[in-house]
Structure 1
Amino acid sequence: MSQAAENAPLFIEAFYDGCESLRSEADLTVPEVGRINRILSEHGVGYEIRPPALVAVGLHQPIPVPERYQSLDEQAQEIVQQSLQQSEKLLAEGHPRQAVQEILWLMESVVTAFKGLGTGEDTIEAKYFNKIAQELRTKRKGQTIEQVLSWLTTLHGYLSSPTGGGVRHGADLKSGITINADEGRLYCNLIRSYVTFLMSEHERMSR
C-alpha cells in the first residue's frame, strides 16, 4: 500500500488484496467489498471494486435532484431524500437489484402524491400508481408529462416483470435476467430524472 500510495487504483487494489490475505491467512475481521465501495462512493473516488476487477465509475454519477420540493411537507421531504440515499448506498455496496427496487418504490410514491391535485376543472381521483398515471396522461394530452408517464409506465412494467428486471414480482429463474451494476446505475438514473420532472410538475400543479 505504501508503494502504491501515489496511484489511486493501485492503492485500492493493494488495500483490497491485503484485506483478502488477512481474511484467509490470519482469520482477521476486515472490511467487506460493500463497505469499501461505500467509502469510495462517499468520497467520490471514482472507482468501485467488482471482484476480481476494479472499475472506473467516475462517468456514472447519479442524476442530481433538488434537496427540497416546495409542494411537499417535511415528512415527505425526508422520505424522498432517505430513499434516494438508500438507493445510492445499495449501488455502492454492489446490490443493483435492491437499489433499483428502492428507487422504483420512490417513483411509485411520488406518482401517488398527485392524488387529489387539480388538472384544470378536474381532480386526480385514482389512488394507485397505474391508475393515477393513466388518469394524468388522459388529462394532460399533448403535454410533456403525457409522454414522460408513457415512458415511465413502460419502464415500470419491464422492471416489475419476472422476465424483465424482476424487482417487484420476483424473477423467472429459467428465463429472467439479473440486473448488473451498469444496468442498475442506468435504471436508477432514469428513474431519478423522472422523479425530478414529476416533482417539478407536482409543484406547478399545487400552486
Structure 2
Amino acid sequence: MALKYDMRWHFTPPSAPVPNGAIDEFFAFAKRVAAQGGRQDVLETFKEHFAIATDRIHNRSSSEAWARADLRTMMDEASENAPRFIEAFSDSCELIKRQSPSWVVPDAILINQVMQKHKIPFELHPPDLLFAGTGGSEAFVDVPTRPASLADQAVEIFQKSLQRSERSLSEGRGREAVQELIWLLESVTTTAFKGVDTDAGKIGGTYFNKIVQDLRKKKRGTTFDQALDWATRLHGYLSSPTGGGVRHGLDLNTGVAMSPREARLYANLIRSYLAYLLAEHEAMTSVATDQTSDSPRRQ
C-alpha cells in the first residue's frame, strides 16, 4: 500500500536529499531482511520499489551480488527525493512482511529513528508520511536546554524529559510525548516560581494551579498573565478525559484519540510556554537580585 502524502513532493520535496549515512543504514536493513531467505528475490523486491522511485524500469539482476550493487545504486539515485525514498523502502518492507509474515522487517518506529538520527524531516505514521519541519531539534519549538533558573540536578531531569518527549514524538507515540511535556510544565512551574518575590509580594502555593493563580493575580493585565491563561487552558483541556486525556485517562466513549499532527501541535505549544516561563522567571529573579544588590548597606 503506497504512502499518503502531498503529491507535489514528487517534484519539489520540502527537504534536502537523504544523507549518505542514512542510505548506508537503510541499505544494511535491506541486506539483513534478505538474509532471512530468498536473498536475491528480496533484494529484487527492494529494487522494484526503488525503480519506481527513480522512474526507471526494473530489470532483474544476473546474480545476488549484482542485485546488491544495483540496489545500492538505485538507492543513491532515489535519495535525491526523500519522500519517494522513504516510500520505496517502506512499501518494500510492507510487501515482504505480507509475503512472509514470520519475517522481521524494519517498522515505522525503526524508520523514524533513522530519519531523526540523520535529520530527515519526516515522520512515518502508516499510511501517512508527514513533514516534520526542518529536521532534528529544529522541528520543535526551541527550549533552552540548560535553564539558568534550575539547579544542576534539576537541569539534568529537565533535559532528559525533553529528550524523552522528542523521542516519543518521533516514534509515533504522541500521547506519551505530550504527557511528558505536561509533567515538565508542572515541574518547572512548581520548582522555579514557588516562593519567588515579585513587586506585589511572594508567590504562594505548592501545586501548578495554585502557583499559576497567584502569579496571574500579581501580574494582572500583562502579557505574562495572558500567557499563563493560555497555558492553563491547554493544561486543563489535555488533562480532561474528554479533551486530550493524557493525565486523567481518556473517556473511551466520548474522548477523541490524539492524531500525530495534534500531538506535534500540543508539544510545540507546551514547549513555547516552557521557553517563555523560563525567560520570564530569569527576568523576575534578575530584577530581584539587582534590587537587593543596590539596596544601601547599614554602616
Pairwise same-fold verdict (TM > 0.5): yes
Normalised to the residue count of structure 1, the TM-score between the two structures is 0.92
Gaps of 5+ in 1: none
Normalised to the residue count of structure 2, the TM-score between the two structures is 0.65
Once residues 175 and 195 of structure 1 are traced to their aligned partners in structure 2, the CA distance between those partners, rounded to angstroms, is 30
Q: Secondary structure at the match of 1:158?
A: helix
| Stretch deviating more after TM superposition (60-69 or 110-119) | 60-69
Q: Does 1:106 align with 2:184?
A: yes
2:128 is matched with which residue?
A: 53
Q: Which stretches of structure 1, 4 residues or longer, exceed 6 Å deviation after superposition?
A: none
The correspondence of residues 1-207 of structure 1 with structure 2, limited to 5 A, is 1=50, 2=71, 3=74, 4-26=78-100, 27-58=102-133, 61-113=139-191, 114-120=193-199, 122-207=201-286
Once residues 37 and 150 of structure 1 are traced to their aligned partners in structure 2, the CA distance between those partners, rounded to angstroms, is 35
Once residues 199 and 127 of structure 2 are traced to their aligned partners in structure 1, the CA distance between those partners, rounded to angstroms, is 56
Shift of 1:104: 0.8
| Stretch deviating more after TM superposition (14-23 or 68-77) | 14-23
Gaps of 5+ in 2: 1-49, 51-70, 287-299
| Stretch deviating more after TM superposition (48-57 or 150-159) | 48-57
Once residues 18 and 84 of structure 1 are traced to their aligned partners in structure 2, the CA distance between those partners, rounded to angstroms, is 33
Q: What is the aligned-residue RMSD (CA, Å)?
A: 1.8
Say if 1:75 and 1:199 are closer, same or farther in 2 by CA, change over 3 A.
Answer: same
Once residues 228 and 81 of structure 2 are traced to their aligned partners in structure 1, the CA distance between those partners, rounded to angstroms, is 45
Shift of 1:123: 1.4
Once residues 161 and 106 of structure 2 are traced to their aligned partners in structure 1, the CA distance between those partners, rounded to angstroms, is 25
Greater C-alpha radius of gyration: 2
Q: Does structure 1 retain, via aligned residues, the 8 Å contact 2:205–2:211?
A: yes
| Stretch deviating more after TM superposition (188-197 or 11-20) | 11-20
Shift of 1:120: 2.6
Once residues 200 and 222 of structure 2 are traced to their aligned partners in structure 1, the CA distance between those partners, rounded to angstroms, is 17
Amino acid paired to 1:45 = I
Amino acid paired to 1:99 = A
Once residues 58 and 134 of structure 1 are traced to their aligned partners in structure 2, the CA distance between those partners, rounded to angstroms, is 35
Q: Does structure 1 retain, via aligned residues, the 8 Å contact 2:168–2:174?
A: yes
Shift of 1:129: 0.3
Q: Secondary structure at the match of 2:123?
A: strand
Deviations 1:115-145 (A, max 9, x none): 1111135211200000000011001112221
Percentage identity across paired residues of the two chains: 51
Deviations 1:3-29 (A, max 9, x none): 334432222122222323443434332
Deviations 1:76-131 (A, max 9, x none): 11122111111111111111111111111111111102111111352112000000
